[in-house]
A and B are shown apart, each in its own frame.
Chain A
Amino acid sequence: MKKIVLLFFALIPFLACNNDDDTTTPVVESDVSINFTQSFDNQSITANEFSNLEYTNENGEQLSISRLRYLMTDIVLTDSDGIETVIADYNFVDVGESTGAVLDAPTKFEQGDYTLSMRFGFSDADNNGVYTDLNALSWGVPAPLGGGYHYMQMEGVYINSEAVNTNYQFHTIRAAQNPGDDVTLTDTSIAVNLGTITIDGSATTIQVNMNIENWYKNPNLWNLNELYTMLMPNYDAQILMNENGQDVFTLGTVTTIEE
């Protein structure tokens, strides 16, 4: 019996060796981060630029930004085999508080090509959930407007057609008709597909930029004099925002730290 055992162990090195593949390539993995940034006509906007009345939208209105908070959801990397990895169910960005700008993936990724996708705001399926952290941020939408959560709060001052500094509130939510008990809702969250990204090196940082000027110009020329306030219960305004928001988010630089 002892001889049999010894023979078995003596054979292990040979059994474990694959003669056809002596050069197995070790799997190389990278850390991945997403960096959410914002700009207006290529001018970067952070909290430091808040309240400067120095941006001009497509319709010619001069404006500032003093609050910018938004919600990106279903943030997913999909590999070339179609396998999806969720980086985060949602990420709340508050530019003024400098929170949410950098989202670190919870796991490493094998090096290679991936597509990056996400959604602006919650889809209807997710918008009915309870998110305690978002509740504490007063991010909810009132029940008469269908409940759920804001997609974005962008606020500031613009100079109106009478040259008066005027507060605006560009809030995007799920579009609601007939607010109240008989409200009907349209999902106006926006699918954001950012294309292919190569993950390489020891760490990859992917910039996703909000091009704020696009909220105001394409396909609908936005006139702040007409649409500057009380936009949440304005169904048509929410539809226009959804249409203009289709090209707001773009892929920025992808930075790799070499191993």
Chain B
Amino acid sequence: MFLLASCGKDKDATVGYTQTPAEIATPLIFQQLIPEAVIPDNNPQTQEGIALGKRLFYDTRLSLDNTISCASCHKPQEGFSDSRALSLGVNGTPGTRNSMPLTNLAFNYFGNFNWDGSAATLEEQHEIPITSPVEMHSTFADITAMIAADTSYPLQFEQAFNVTNVTKTEVTKALSQFVRTMVSGNSKFDKYLLGEATLTAQEQNGLNVFLDETRGDCFHCHGSPTNPLWTDNIFHNNGLDASFDDRGRGAFTGDPNQFGQFKSPSLRNLAYTAPYMHDGRFATLEEVVNHYSEGLVFSDTIDPLMKAVANGGVQLSDADKADLVAFLLSLSDPSFINNPAYLPN
């Protein structure tokens, strides 16, 4: 009787299906250094929900013309981001910002998803690309109608959420459960921290540049070895422009002090996630480093952490630049982009 009750595929006549709880696979280095993953009380991880979310993630029928899925702009081999500076939505319409990598979002303790923090929760975030005219341009009415007409989705939703009338809520919950499973914590640098790998001299010096306030000073926004997320998950104007076509965080909040601010992205998996910045303006990591070294532009809201702006930046030597890039690449995690759990079935 216990075995029957614990099986997710069995349905109790009075309470419906019993879901099978699932845990976030938390890397050892995360367990040692940062709080547990954030799982909302109203959307616990279940095997059924995750499987359903994965199917939805790769389903092009979530878009207006059945041409693109979430994975079209969050490609596994591109670190679940897009090699195009601005992804193409339905009808080839370009978006307005670079596709953010989907990495370790279960460990975003502060909410504020997207470049501008416009979504308080991951569930809320999923509504945006699905309905955006420059992305999937669909409606939840169309999506739930498609689900109802499908031969297997209704049963999957019932098994995952005990609902027969699928709504936006269950669609975004399932997607969120899947995305929360996407955890990257197995880079060369993670192994180095665990004593399982050795950094090259170039990578080691790159780390020193990263941590040196008089040189790279990258750690204030992107964390240090004690923050394996490699982001502070908050918003900065990093000196890209003197004025703003895209006001970023400020466009969402309306606060002029936040014009030009965008969320610090994680530095994990940079080997796969080019181009860089919120608008994908930099094709290479070398261009990114050059920006901070000598390309900073003053504006009224520039972050105080952007140093030596009058000189364009901190003026790194060529050797330090190359070493910094080498270190940054050590944060890439091939096992993440090749993890079958995240790839289409």
Interface residues on chain B, size class: 35 or more
Chain A, residue nearest B233 (CB): A136
Partner pick for A136 among B35, B220, B257, B305, CB 8 A cutoff: B35
- Verify B307–A135 contact, CB threshold 8 A: no
Expressed in whole angstroms, the Cα–Cα distance for A168 and B35 within the complex equals 31
Main secondary structure on chain B at its contact with chain A? loop
- Verify A169–B219 contact, CB threshold 8 A: no
Chain B residues near A37 (CB-CB < 8 A): none
- Verify B310–A138 contact, CB threshold 8 A: no
Expressed in whole angstroms, the Cα–Cα distance for A145 and B215 within the complex equals 14
- Verify B305–A155 contact, CB threshold 8 A: yes
Partner pick for A143 among B225, B232, B302, B305, CB 8 A cutoff: B225
Instruction: Point out which of A135, A144, A153 has the most chain B C-beta atoms below 10 A from its C-beta.
Output: A135
Expressed in whole angstroms, the Cα–Cα distance for A130 and B232 within the complex equals 17
Expressed in whole angstroms, the Cα–Cα distance for A145 and B213 within the complex equals 10
- Verify A142–B304 contact, CB threshold 8 A: no
Expressed in whole angstroms, the Cα–Cα distance for A167 and B306 within the complex equals 7
- The answer, yes or no, to whether B227 is at the interface (CB within 8 Å) is yes
Q: Which of A106-164 contact B (CB under 8 A)?
A: 130, 132-133, 135-138, 140, 142-145, 147, 153, 155-157, 164
Q: How many A-B residue pairs have CB under 8 A?
A: 86
Chain B residues near A130 (CB-CB < 8 A): 32-33, 226
Chain B residues near A230 (CB-CB < 8 A): 213-214, 217, 307
Chain A residues near B257 (CB-CB < 8 A): 50-51, 66
- Verify B35–A133 contact, CB threshold 8 A: yes
Partner pick for B307 among A67, A132, A142, A169, CB 8 A cutoff: A169
- The answer, yes or no, to whether A75 is at the interface (CB within 8 Å) is no
Q: Which of B64-117 contact A (CB under 8 A)?
A: 107, 109
Instruction: Point out which of A138, A144, A147, A230 has the most chain B C-beta atoms below 10 A from its C-beta.
Output: A138
- The answer, yes or no, to whether A100 is at the interface (CB within 8 Å) is no
- Verify A66–B304 contact, CB threshold 8 A: yes
Partner pick for A138 among B214, B221, B306, CB 8 A cutoff: B221
Chain A residues near B213 (CB-CB < 8 A): 230, 232-233
Besides A135-B33, A140-B223, A229-B307, 6 new A-B residue pairs in contact (Cβ under 8 A), listed by A number = A66-B257, A135-B34, A169-B304, A179-B212, A230-B307, A233-B214
